[in-house]
Amino acid sequence: MRVVVNAAVSADGKLSTRHREQVAISGAEDFARVDRLRADGDAVVVGVGTVLADDPHLTLDDGDLRADREDRGDPPNPARVVADSRARTPPDARIVDDAARTYLLVADAAPGDRVADLEANPTVEVIRAGEDRVDLPVALDRLEAEGVEQLMVEGGGELIFSLFAEGLVDDLSVFVGPTVIGGREAPTLADGEGFVDPEAFPELRLTDTERIDGGIVLHWTVAEG
Ligand SMILES: NC(=O)c1ccc[n+]([C@@H]2O[C@H](COP(=O)([O-])OP(=O)(O)OC[C@H]3O[C@@H](n4cnc5c(N)ncnc54)[C@H](OP(=O)(O)O)[C@@H]3O)[C@@H](O)[C@H]2O)c1
């Protein structure tokens, strides 16, 4: 499976403000780029923190991209995936509507009633992996067995850090926007516990850059460990 992380950050590396509400960092050109990247993948994953903060839909905006997918025998939208150890995704969240299939990655610790409420939705399929927290290598293997060959990661910072820490990321695209958000509590591209040992820092190679929306997209690939 190829794992492609995409995010938009301010010039100081923040994904959002300290209030963790959704803010526009990029513009129309970047939205179109993200739509194309989504269309290239089999599934798009976010952490439950992003679901609770932004209530994203994670479907394709551009009807032509949906039609192209259908022409090649794929569903019009990629599947949606939430890393949600305790099944905190609200049953009325947009990510579990009927626009596409949704895989809910939960841990054994997830309360059975919340899992059952979400599983009652015909578009939702639950994948259990891990005891207290979603075991990402196991969960991604399960997704691969479901036919997910390219997985796009759309945040947030907790999930992105875990994927790097597990050595699961292949590519990273970051739009760096022309603004400063600041705030030591504001989420950044990679939060979690962070690496301490420089030997553990993932090594990235810059493969391309694009100037759009008054900022720049940096395309990186992760060097083999
Ligand atoms: N600018 C952008 O491109 C962009 C994109 C996305 C989000 N955002 C912003 O980012 C913020 C949300 O980011 P966030 O970092 O708070 O949340 P997040 O990464 O979306 O979700 C984190 C949650 O995912 C769950 N999770 C399950 N398994 C995990 C694992 N193995 N490793 C890590 N997390 C796991 C954890 O909750 P459980 O333990 O309950 O499972 C964790 O608290 C919001 O402010 C949103 O607006 C910005």
- State the distance from the centre of ligand 1 to the C-alpha of 48, rounded, in angstroms: 6
Q: What is the CATH number of the domain that holds 88?
A: 3.40.430.10
**pLDDT of res. 56:** 97
CB 181 within 8 A of CB 17: yes
pLDDT of residue 10: 98
Mean per-residue pLDDT, 39-55: 97
Instruction: Report how far ligand 1's centroid is from the alpha carbon of 113 (Å).
Output: 23
> What DSSP string runs through 110-170?
S-HHHHHHHHTSTTEEEEE--SSS--HHHHHHHHHHTT--EEEE---HHHHHHHHHTT---
Q: How many domains does the chain have?
A: 1
Residue-range definition of the domain harbouring residue 199: 2-222
Whole-angstrom distance, CA of residue 15 vs CA of residue 158: 11
**Residue 171: CB within 6 Å of ligand 1?**
no
pLDDT band at residue 224 using 50, 70 and 90 as cut-offs? confident
Ligand 1 lined by 8 (C-beta under 6 Å)? yes
DSSP 188: B
Gap between the Cα atoms of 77 and 192, Å rounded = 30
pLDDT for the residue 172: 98
Distance CA 101, CA 47 (A): 16
Residue whose C-alpha is closest to residue 200's, from 161, 174, 173:
161
Q: Is the pLDDT of residue 225 over 80?
A: no
pLDDT digits (tens, 9 = 90+) for 157-204: 999 999 999 999 999 999 999 999 999 999 999 999 999 999 999 999
Cβ atoms of 3 and 110 closer than 8 Å: no
Whether 215 is in the pocket of ligand 1, judged by its Cβ within 6 Å, is no
CA distance 219 to 225: 18
Kindly report, residue by residue over 97-151, the tens digit of the pLDDT. Answer: 999 999 999 999 999 999 999 999 999 999 999 999 999 999 999 999 999 999 9
Nearest to 183 by CA among 57, 54, 19: 19
% pLDDT > 90, the chain: 98
Mean pLDDT of the chain: 97
